[in-house]
Chains A and B, each alone.
Chain A
């Protein structure tokens, strides 16, 4: 807007000074709020703001210094959390570069995962990885979602196959464009109520068609088995694609509500739980807390989505579906 305003001023031969970001009155970055704008206008006019916003903020910051940060995180039941758990296990002891992309999975950038080497723009992860793979010794991997795959990853994939580059692309296929509200995309299964006359394009078909030498599909929730599948893809010489497939938890819930399928939450059997807190420290599902008296893990029923992945990673098999007597798996001795 600033540059166009200047252009118009020039076109009309106006002799005016136009202040804005170019002259440093406003920042090029940041989400603007009232104090930022007031300060910008005041500095352009050579005035001081009437209200001392810093003082207000200082008092507020003191009051809220006790608060923990509340980063956005994967929903309860999100297949991405499960996929990233498996990736974390698979890359142990390896030197990896992990290029991130734009989607819900971007949140791998945030703590606790902190799993991002680069995050630029939609579709950038594979292009960057292609370049890096030619100069780095590390395992180079990148992640896109199903929708981003169709939108912006195909040229990078063609490039990787053409040059036979050692990159591993994870396509986190949750069947819809989840982040923006579960819209359909060309890879969405037909039975999701797509309009007539649309044809599903399977991601694996596209990859094989382009000539990717190693394409594997995994169920995001099958976390333990996925570790080896991921290792194999990382070891493959040449481009490899791993499609981690499972419906977005919110989309899955919507389908369940429509079909009347119940969502059965999980719970912790306190008699079996030995409190290693694997579920809390390694999985970071928002449905987990622990009791203050005995430190046993606890699952909040109003948040749990019943995906059951926590039950798979619990080393003592203490998590099971509500209403089921036996633990979800045999207890390790």
Chain B
């Protein structure tokens, strides 16, 4: 691992999905790897159901935790709409690791109900917009993979595994897994590690054609 490797990451999603824990896990992995990480949560009201985004700058000689527009290497979005909401941060041809899950805000549901409409925003519509910015979009079914791993609450860890597929992401898989292990309850360790591996595989399959990925066996 190169010590001068630099990676600017936007993590976003909906309040309640475990996004802050996700960034804590990556942050403590950085500490283990002796990489400097600066992070900032821009929305203080981290209530459930609101939009959440976190800036995370790993390595480099940044003075500020905030990523300028069009400079993020990747967006990890635990909900599909939220990736689009922060698209101005992504650099051209940056990577988007995108949850296929679409969580409709109560305001959208109520509005459609009032207008007797049923045209909810779909994942495909969102992905089409994202693809106009970058071809490197890796959709994965975070919730399904978490359930497959054995617990829907591991959805956030799926996305840490997904990040580990990127060659440009400066943290190695062992350090990330170690950090996951320290952050989750002991009895939930195995399901979390499984979620991690499933996330890795999904991101690898989705991105390896267009982006340099890390090859490894999972088991």
- Using a CB-CB cutoff of 8 Å, which residues 176-192 of chain A contact chain B? 179
A63 and B87 form a contact (CB under 8 A): yes
Q: A66-B129, A75-B16 are in contact. Are A60 and B87 (CB under 8 A)?
A: yes
Size band of the A side of the interface? 35 or more
Tell me what chain A mostly uses at the interface: helix, strand, loop, or mixed.
loop
Measured in the bound complex, the distance between the Cα atoms of B42 and A325 in whole Å is: 46
With both beta carbons as reference points, the residue of chain A lying nearest to B88 in the complex is identified as A60
Cβ–Cβ < 8 Å partners of A57 in chain B: 69, 88
- The contact of B110 among A76, A107, A179, A280, by CB within 8 Å, is A280
With both beta carbons as reference points, the residue of chain B lying nearest to A72 in the complex is identified as B50
Residues of B in contact, count (CB < 8 Å) = 45
A72 and B45 form a contact (CB under 8 A): yes
With both beta carbons as reference points, the residue of chain B lying nearest to A287 in the complex is identified as B106
Cβ–Cβ < 8 Å partners of B85 in chain A: 64, 67, 70
A72 and B15 form a contact (CB under 8 A): yes
A70 and B88 form a contact (CB under 8 A): no
A104 at the binding interface (Cβ < 8 Å):
yes
- The contact of A68 among B67, B87, B111, B132, by CB within 8 Å, is B111
A290 and B109 form a contact (CB under 8 A): yes
Cβ–Cβ < 8 Å partners of A292 in chain B: 118-120
B132: shortest Cβ distance to chain A, in Å?
7
- The contact of B49 among A75, A290, A302, by CB within 8 Å, is A75
B183 at the binding interface (Cβ < 8 Å):
no
B70 and A56 form a contact (CB under 8 A): yes
Cβ–Cβ < 8 Å partners of B116 in chain A: 295
Measured in the bound complex, the distance between the Cα atoms of B14 and A291 in whole Å is: 22
Measured in the bound complex, the distance between the Cα atoms of B117 and A246 in whole Å is: 36
Q: Which residues of A contact B (CB under 8 A)?
A: 31, 33-35, 38, 51, 53, 56-57, 59-60, 63-64, 66-76, 104, 107, 111-112, 179, 250, 277, 280-281, 284-286, 288-290, 292-293, 295, 302
Q: Which residues of B contact A (CB under 8 A)?
A: 14-16, 42, 45, 47-51, 64, 66-70, 81-82, 84-85, 87-88, 103-114, 116, 118-121, 125, 129, 132-133, 143, 152
